[in-house]
């Protein structure tokens, strides 16, 4: 599972997402940046910044 926390890119933002692969994480993050932060144009540098901040999420054991 992969994790992106928006606050690592936009200080003060608590939004985060988890997905099985980086492509889905990037898609969700770009959608979030457009809807929440008003980013009309997502440049390649922004996508690269998102990718650089994606990390493995800790897997929580099933109850």
Q: What is this structure's pTM?
A: 0.88
Is 61 a domain residue? no
Is 52 a domain residue? yes
Is 63 a domain residue? no
Residue 33: the pLDDT is 98
Domain count, the chain: 1
Would you say residue 61 has pLDDT above 70?
A: no
Cβ-based burial of 15 (10 A; exposed 0-12, middle 13-18, buried ≥19): middle
Is 62 a domain residue? no
Is 41 a domain residue? yes
Is 15 a domain residue? yes
Q: What are the pLDDT digits (tens) for 2-57?
A: 999 999 999 999 999 999 999 999 999 999 999 999 999 999 999 999 999 999 99
Residue 58: the pLDDT is 81
DSSP label of 40? S
Task: Identify the CA nearest to 2 among candidates 27, 31, 36, 32.
Answer: 27
Is 40 a domain residue? yes
Residues of the domain holding 35? 2-56
Q: Look up residue 25 and give its two tokens.
A: 């994480």
């Amino acid at each position: 599972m992969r994790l992106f926390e928006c606050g690592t890119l936009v200080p003060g933002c608590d939004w985060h997402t988890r997905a099985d692969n980086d492509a889905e994480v990037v898609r969700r993050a770009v959608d979030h940046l457009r809807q929440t932060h008003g980013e009309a144009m997502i440049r390649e540098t922004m996508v690269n910044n998102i990718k650089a901040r994606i990390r493995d999420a800790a897997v929580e054991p099933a109850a």
